[in-house]
Amino acid sequence: MNILIVYAHPEPRSLNAALKDFAVEHLRQQGHSVQVSDLYAMKFKAVLDADDYLAHPAAERFNPSEASRLALANGTQADDIAAEQAKLQWADAVILQFPLWWFGLPAILKGWVERVYAYGFAYGVGEHSDHHWGDRYGEGRLAGKRAMLMVSMGGWASHYSERGINGPLNDILFPIHHGMLFYPGFEVLPPFAVYRTSRMDSDGFTTACAQLAQRLDGLWTDAPIAFRRQNGGDYAIPALTLRPELAPGESGLSVHLLHD
């Protein structure tokens, strides 16, 4: 299979770099093909602006989604955007690897999403009508592929537990899991998380690699997070609210999961 790792850490001698190198080697040993988009090493342009759309007239008001739509349709996207889209299309699975900075993606990786996720590629796909609100949340151009986060935290696991002060990890990651990965069609696996990174010694690293290997071996077989599909009947369209008979009386992020 083909795996794309989109990797965001500024230091090649970091824990994240060592885990990335381990993942690449392990996947290749299992016979997979791997590409790495090392965003810091590539000096990837983080900021979406009019320069990304080569035919955009300089004097014209810049509407990001409209400029993106036109540029994708006409082949006038910046080369680095098109190259990353080609890698996504090549991949059977995508891993986003990053240190959790301020409870989200590092800016360089957030900018990768904003620029590479073009209108007509990751959003604005498919019919919009009163029974189908675009191919998204379980459908889309990236359907059939799997995705997983590899994320490191300075804090303790308990700080990210169900009643931990930072919020449960899966709730903090919901905008990424559900909003950036499930949205354009990926099946999203539970995250691979490493905690207390500044205290990790060589035994801890060995343990983390063993756990990571197991997760990489399960990329094709582990059960994805059971998000509800938008157009499968669970949501009223166009309000896109969960139908009242499902998870009745409940609210919050967890209602978007299929329960047993």
- Which of 167, 190, 204, 224 touches a copy of itself by CB under 8 A? 167
> Could you say whether residue 171 binds a copy of itself (CB under 8 A)?
yes
**Minimal distance, residue 228 CB to a copy of itself, in Å:** 8
Alpha carbon of residue 159 to chain centroid: 23
> Could you say whether residue 195 binds a copy of itself (CB under 8 A)?
no
Tell me the C-alpha distance between 108 and 94, whole Å.
Answer: 17
> Could you say whether residue 46 binds a copy of itself (CB under 8 A)?
yes
**CB-facing half-sphere around the CA of 98: CA atoms within 13 A:** 23
Size, binding site for a copy of itself by CB under 8 A: 64
> Could you say whether residue 61 binds a copy of itself (CB under 8 A)?
yes
**Minimal distance, residue 11 CB to a copy of itself, in Å:** 4
**Is the Cβ of residue 152 or residue 219 nearer to a copy of itself in the bound state?**
152
Question: 232: Cβ–Cβ under 8 A, 6 or more apart, which residues?
Answer: 138
> Could you say whether residue 201 binds a copy of itself (CB under 8 A)?
no
- CB 200, CB 154: distance < 8 Å: no
- CB 132, CB 229: distance < 8 Å: no
DSSP character for 23? H
- Which of 2, 24, 40, 222 touches a copy of itself by CB under 8 A? 40
Alpha carbon of residue 24 to chain centroid: 18
> Could you say whether residue 134 binds a copy of itself (CB under 8 A)?
no
> Could you say whether residue 101 binds a copy of itself (CB under 8 A)?
yes
> Could you say whether residue 168 binds a copy of itself (CB under 8 A)?
yes
- CB 3, CB 219: distance < 8 Å: yes
Give me the residues paired with residue 49 across strands.
Answer: none
Buried b (16+ CB within 10 A) or exposed e, 165-177: ebbebbebbbebb
Candidate ranges 25-33, 73-81, 100-108, 186-194; the one touching a copy of itself (CB under 8 A): 100-108
- Which of 90, 241, 258, 259 touches a copy of itself by CB under 8 A? 241
**Minimal distance, residue 115 CB to a copy of itself, in Å:** 8
Tell me the C-alpha distance between 87 and 4, whole Å.
Answer: 7
> Could you say whether residue 129 binds a copy of itself (CB under 8 A)?
no
> Could you say whether residue 63 binds a copy of itself (CB under 8 A)?
yes
- CB 133, CB 241: distance < 8 Å: no
**Minimal distance, residue 204 CB to a copy of itself, in Å:** 17
Tell me the C-alpha distance between 94 and 3, whole Å.
Answer: 6
Tell me the C-alpha distance between 150 and 220, whole Å.
Answer: 16
Residues that bind a copy of itself (CB under 8 A): 10-11, 13-14, 40, 46-50, 61-65, 101-108, 110-111, 113-114, 117, 137, 154, 156, 158-159, 161-168, 171-172, 174-176, 178-180, 230, 235, 238-242, 247, 250-256
